Amino acid sequence: MLRASVRALAEAKIAPHAAEVDERARFPQEALDALTANDLHAVHIPEEYGGSGGDALATAIVIEEVARVCASSSLIPAVNKLGTLPLMLSGSEDLKRRYLGAVARGDGMFSYCLSEPEAGSDAAAMRTRAVRDGDSWVLDGVKRWITNAGVSEFYTVMAVTDPTRRSKGISAFVVEKSDEGVSFGAPERKLGIKGSPTREVYLDNVRIPADRIIGEEGTGFATAMRTLDHTRVTIAAQALGIAQGALDYAKGYVLERRQFGKAIGEFQGIQFMLADMAMKLEAARQLTYAAAARSERGDADLTFFGASAKCFASDAAMEITTDAVQLLGGYGYTRDYPLERMMRDAKITQIYEGTNQVQRIVMARNLPN
C-alpha cells in the first residue's frame, strides 16, 4: 500500500516536472510541497516527535519510488534522514523535540555537513573549528558538497573541538540557516541530480547556544560514522529507484520500436539485456531491503550490509541505466527521452556517502562471520 500510494503521488505530482527541473537545474519545489502535504518528506521521524514513524524499510521504499521518476526529488526524504539521524542517535531530548518536530511539521529541511575541501574520504582531516566561549560555541570553517544547502533551514555540522585528538576531537552541532555568519557558495554545476542544490557552507564566526551540541563533546565523528551506516541504505534505495525507472522505460520502448519487421523486444539479444538488467536490479533490491531491516534493528553487522547495499545497488544502477540508454539507440542519447538523465543521475550514487572504493574498504574491515 505504501509503495502504491507513493508511486501514484510521484507520477502525478513529481514526474511531470522532472525533465524541466533537470534542464533548468532548479530545486523541485513541487516535489517538496507534495511530499510534505502527504507526510512523506521525512517519513522516518518517530511519532513522538510529530512524525510518521516510518521504519527504515518504509523510508527506503519512499525514496525508491520518488527516485524512479526524479532522483533530485528523492534527496528530499533522503537528506532529511541524513541530517536528522545524528540527533536521533545522540541528541538531547530537547534538541530532538525542537528540531525533529520542526522537520516533521515541514518547517524546514535538514542537511548534513561533514565533507570539506581538504577532507573528503578522509573526513577526520577536517579543519572547521568550534571553540567554547561561555554559554556559546563559535564555529569557523568551510563545508563542501552539502546537499540541499541554501534551501535547508537546519544543518548538522561536524567541527573540531580538540585538534590534538583527531577523530576523537570532533563534535557535532546544529546550525540554523538564520544564524549570523552562515552563508553559501554558488551552486555546483553537476553532471546529474541537478535539481538538488550542492553548495559550500561558510561558517564565519557563527555563534550558537551551547545546548546545540549533539551528544557529548568529542563524539561527533563516531556519530557521523554511525549515521552513514544507516543512511547508506537510503542511497542504495535511490539507486534502485533510478534503475527501476530506466528499466521500466526501456521495457516499454522495445515493445513499441520496430525494426526488421518486428518489435526489437522480440530479438533474443535485446531480451538477454533486459533479463540481466532485471536480475541485477532484483538482487540489489533484496540486499538493500536486508540492510534496511538491519538498520531498523540496529544489528551488529549493519556496517557491512549498509556498505554492501550502497555499493552493489549503485554499481547495478550505473550498469542498468547505461544499458537502457543503449536499448534506445540514438534516442537514448537525446534529452527528448528520460534515460540520459537517469544515467547521469545514477553516477552520483557511486560517489556520495562514501565512494564505492571506500565502501569496499569498509566491507573488508567488517566481513561477517
249-268 pLDDT, tens digit each: 999 999 999 999 999 999 99
Of 65, 200, 296, 353, the catalytic one is 353
Same-domain status, 270 and 254? yes
Same-domain status, 131 and 28? no
227: pLDDT strictly greater than 90: yes
CATH label of the domain that carries residue 199: 2.40.110.10
369: pLDDT strictly greater than 90: no
CATH label of the domain that carries residue 84: 1.10.540.10
Domain count, the chain: 3
Same-domain status, 170 and 236? no
- Domain boundary (187, 218, 249) is at 218
Q: How far apart are CA 348 and CA 353, in angstroms?
A: 10
* Coil, helix or strand at residue 330: helix
Predicted local confidence at residue 230, as pLDDT: 98
Looking at residues 268-292, what average pLDDT do you find?
A: 98
Same-domain status, 100 and 133? no
Q: Which long-range contacts (CB under 8 A, 24 or more apart) does 363-369 make?
A: 363/304, 363/307, 363/308, 363/311, 366/301, 366/303, 366/304, 366/307, 367/304, 368/301, 368/304
Looking at residues 176-183, what average pLDDT do you find?
A: 98
Q: How confident is the model at residue 17 (pLDDT cuts 50, 70, 90)?
A: very high
Q: What is the mean pLDDT of the chain?
A: 98
pLDDT in tens, 283-319: 999 999 999 999 999 999 999 999 999 999 999 999 9
Same-domain status, 193 and 312? no
Same-domain status, 134 and 195? yes
Q: Structural domain of residue 205, as residue ranges? A: 110-218
201 grid coordinates: 557552507
Question: Is the separation of the CB atoms in 81 and 71 below 8 Å?
Answer: no
Same-domain status, 150 and 282? no
Angle subtended at Cα 67 by Cα 223 and Cα 48, rounded to the nearest 5 degrees = 45
Does an H or E element contain 154, and which? strand 154-160
Same-domain status, 140 and 171? yes
Same-domain status, 151 and 71? no
Same-domain status, 138 and 97? no
Same-domain status, 341 and 326? yes
- Domain boundary (218, 248, 270) is at 218
What Rg, from alpha-carbon coordinates, does the chain have? 21
CB neighbour list of residue 178: distance below 8 Å, 6 or more residues apart: 153
Question: Is the separation of the CB atoms in 139 and 159 below 8 Å?
Answer: yes
Same-domain status, 243 and 206? no
Looking at residues 44-70, what average pLDDT do you find?
A: 98
- Domain boundary (178, 200, 218) is at 218
Residue 153 is a catalytic residue: no
pLDDT in tens, 183-197: 999 999 999 999 999
CA distances from 361 to 143, 216, 352, 364 (A): 24, 28, 15, 5
Looking at residues 271-280, what average pLDDT do you find?
A: 98
Other C-beta atoms within 10 Å of 226: how many? 18
